[in-house]
Amino acid sequence: MSGTWTLPDDLEIPRRPDIFPAPGAALPQHWAKCFGCGDDQPAGIAMGFAATEGIEVTGRLEVESRYQGGPGVIHGGILTTAFDETQGIACMVLGTAVVTGHLQIDFARPIPLGSVLEFRARVDGTIRRKVYTSAEARIVDGPNASDDVVATSRGLFLTIEPEHFTPMREFVDGVPTKPSFGDSTL
């Protein structure tokens, strides 16, 4: 990783809860309409995730031609989305919802179209509402497959109350939102 990122000294390392899926088991999507993992998002990138040992997860992304940035390679924004999704899913081990506060990506090698990327993400630790994560990606199938890391990421996520997304979810699902500021005429 070429960027500068220093983890706080007083991080608490979460333990894997007993209710977390067993290693190798699929992890549930957090919302069906999510661009990263949702089954009800035909334009999305359709990532799937699995639990591993400890407090890590793996994710996979098939680099389709529609994800092209430069000639024959993945667009950096798609790769960034995949890291954001994978590190957010890793936060499931905490048993609470999170939002992205900061995401840092280091691109090490071009990733050709037709590749299959495997992401491995972990929770490095928490301090109050802050969740520090890290991840790496490797090409595991297709052109240039190897065990070499092709990109890395560090993230800062913030825990939120589940109600955080309620107004927007109601809007997206077509349910009218409640008036704001207690004014029923709005």
Nearest to 79 by CA among 56, 99, 107: 107
The Cα–Cα gap between 8 and 26 comes to 31
141 is catalytic: no
Catalytic annotation, pick one of 10, 18, 84, 173? 84
Q: Which residues are catalytic?
A: 84
